Structure 1
Amino acid sequence: MSFSVEEGEFFGILGPNGAGKTTTLEIIEGLRQADAGTVEVLGMSPWPRNPKLLPRIGVQLQASSFFERLTAREQIRTFASLYGIPAKKADDMLTVVGMEDKAGTPAEKLSGGQAQRLSIACALVHDPDVLFLDEPSASLDPQARRNLWDLLRSLNEAGRTVVLTTHHLDEAEALCDRVAIMDHGKILELGPPATLVRGLDSATHISLATGTLSLPAAREVAGPDASVTDDGVTVTIATRAPAPVLTALADRNLLTGIQVRGATLEDVFLHLTGREYRA
């Protein structure tokens, strides 16, 4: 694989389990030696371990590990001390990620989502130029995810380069300037999410509650080139010409409560990587 990330860019790496996302990040971060090829981060090679590069990057690993018996405040102050960062700034970072009320809680008693936020705070405490995040929103509830998105946007808008992997495709679509979709260690597509979605020849799905429109009537409205399905809850018309269908539904006064969904990044992802289960 070969790709570059521009300074100040928000870049996402997407792929199913086992695609090579974490391995790729670990090579870029200097945690793993590449079998072949070259890697350059901020003009420097990350391998072998580069003391000049380490203060300029922040890393949040997929699996976080903290010192036993230390509180959240003690954990982040320990991380901060490695970079010569004062304790006050470390405490402020706990507030940034919404962990100030858990500052005195031992790390082993934090929930999964709280531990994830503490891990991100530790990655940010030294104000790095480039931030690497491996599935940062895993274990977070919807509210915490949205708060994390706001935090990452603000960091990126302040000039930091952010590189993340995620299984949440809505997250990548909302945050990333560009994404690389990979599988089996190779990049399948790379570009802005909106561009990848527009490049997918996908039908528009128009959905109504079952019983609102009979199947024969739905097929009449849909036309010969569309498909109609009924799962017992929703009648869905999949068409590449939605305007005539919506006009026909409007003529029947059936627009109330319908849902119209175009292609998303998830559709692109499934088109490229398939739908089979990955352990």
Structure 2
Amino acid sequence: MSHTALIPSHRKPRRNASKSALRAGVAGGVLSTIAVAGAAGPAQAEPVTQTIEMPTITAGLSPAVAASAEATQQVALDLETQAHEEAAATAAAKDAKKAKAEAVRKAEARKKAEAKAKAEAQAKAEAAERASRAAARTTLSTSSTGSSSSGSTASETPSYTSTATGSAAAVVAFAQAQIGDAYVSGGTGPNSWDCSGLVQAAFRSVGVDLPRVSQSQSTAGTQVSLSNLQPGDILYWGGAGSAYHVGIYVGGGQFVGAQNSSTGVVQKSLDYDPPSGAVRVL
């Protein structure tokens, strides 16, 4: 045996012929296919022209959506209408409040004007009464002076106590209780009077409310004859409704009256200053 027989050879083992042939055929086929494909050129992709209709997922909701939109619109209109109505109501309330305040202001102004006019009218009436009474008193004083110088006692205060009863007696007693008080134009007591103020207070003492001035007091009751006088009758000087002086008949041909600033409240005979007429209230 050779001494190299057991040494492995460094040469590569020979490949199997069948496997080599198979591999070569596959490779050639692949290469041929690539070559043919390259010769034919790249394939052109055909464009897609078909439209695919997608289902509308809200198609079934259209009536409900429309109804909801309509309801929303109606609510909006209602709210707008309500807002307009509230604004109109607020404006109307403001206008009404303003109109009421204006009406109250005008009413108060009218009331004040009427009160002022009434006060002025009363003041004028009292002024006219005072003027007329002053003129009458001047004439009376002149007449009384002449009578006194001739020895007449007509101007002297008679001593007479009324025998009246009831309310008339109370009126007479009130008037006689003021004899000696001062005469003050516009006076209504308790210590100074003018003629109509004394008469008014005397009747008020028995619950009878008379007008304030002589003109009105001269028509406050039933007209009576001077020949048929009773205690408590109101005597007046001047015309009925235009009298310038009043007094109270106490009986016995005498009266009590706030005559003038010189005499004050006195009790005198009717002869001292004959009245023009009389009215009966009680």
Higher strand share: 1
TM-score past 0.5 threshold? no
Higher helix share: 2
Question: Which structure is larger by alpha-carbon Rg, 1 or 2?
Answer: 2
Provide the TM-score with structure 2 as the length reference.
Answer: 0.20
Provide the TM-score with structure 1 as the length reference.
Answer: 0.20
